[in-house]
Amino acid sequence: MRTQVGIVGAGPAGLLLSHLLHLRGIDSVVLEARSRHYIEQRVRAGVLEQGTVDVLNEAGVGDRMRAEGLPHHGIELRYGGAGHRIPFEELVPGRAITVYGQQEVVKDLVARRLADGGKILFDVPDVALHSLERDPYLTFQGERLDCDVIAGCDGFHGVSRRSIPEGVLTVFQRDYPFAWLGILARIPPSAKELIYSHTERGFALHSMRSEEISRFYLQVPPDASLDDWPDERIWAELRARLETVPGFTLAEGPIISRDMSAMRSFVAEPMRHGNLYLAGDAAHIVPPTGAKGLNLAVADVRLLTEALTEFYATGSGDLLDAYSGNCLKRVWRAQHFSWWMTTLLHTFDADDPYGRRLQTAHLDYVTSSEAAATTLAENYVGLPFDFGAHP
Is residue 275 in some structural domain?
A: yes
Phi and psi of 226, rounded to 5°? -60, -30
pLDDT at position 391: 42
For this structure, is 288 an active site residue? yes
For this structure, is 292 an active site residue? yes
Is residue 372 in some structural domain?
A: yes
Q: Which range of residues forms the domain containing residue 63? A: 5-173+263-381
Residue among 52, 49, 50, 376 nearest 196 (CA) = 376
Number of domains comprising the chain: 1
Phi and psi of 380, rounded to 5°? -70, -45
Q: What is the pLDDT along the chain (391 residues), one digit of tens a residue?
A: 999 999 999 999 999 999 999 999 999 999 999 999 999 998 777 899 999 999 999 999 999 999 999 999 999 999 999 999 999 999 999 999 999 999 999 999 999 999 999 999 999 989 999 999 999 999 999 999 999 999 999 999 999 999 999 999 999 999 999 999 999 999 999 999 999 999 999 999 999 998 999 999 999 999 999 999 999 999 999 999 999 999 999 999 999 999 999 999 999 999 999 999 999 999 999 999 999 999 999 999 999 999 999 999 999 999 999 999 999 999 999 999 999 999 999 999 878 899 999 999 999 999 999 999 999 999 999 998 877 554 4
pLDDT at position 390: 46
Is residue 341 in some structural domain?
A: yes
The catalytic residue among 288, 312, 323, 346 is 288
Pairing of strands 170-185, 255-269: antiparallel
Query: Residues in the chain, how many?
Result: 391
Is residue 330 in some structural domain?
A: yes
Query: Checking phi first, is residue 9 left (phi over 0); if not, alpha (psi -120 to 50) or beta?
Result: left
Is residue 183 in some structural domain?
A: no
The catalytic residue among 198, 206, 292, 346 is 292
The catalytic residue among 12, 19, 72, 79 is 72
Supply the pTM of this predicted model.
0.95
Is residue 206 in some structural domain?
A: no
pLDDT at position 5: 98
pLDDT at position 389: 52
Is residue 305 in some structural domain?
A: yes
Bridge partners (DSSP) listed for residue 257: 184
Query: CATH number, domain at 36?
Result: 3.50.50.60
Is residue 97 in some structural domain?
A: yes
Phi and psi of 263, rounded to 5°? -110, 115
Query: Checking phi first, is residue 60 left (phi over 0); if not, alpha (psi -120 to 50) or beta?
Result: left
For this structure, is 354 an active site residue? no
Q: Where are the beta strands (DSSP E) in the chain?
A: 5-8, 28-31, 47-48, 70-72, 74-79, 82-87, 97-99, 119-121, 128-130, 137-140, 143-146, 149-152, 170-185, 195-199, 202-208, 214-220, 255-269, 272-273, 276-278, 284-285
The catalytic residue among 196, 217, 277, 323 is 196
For this structure, is 72 an active site residue? yes
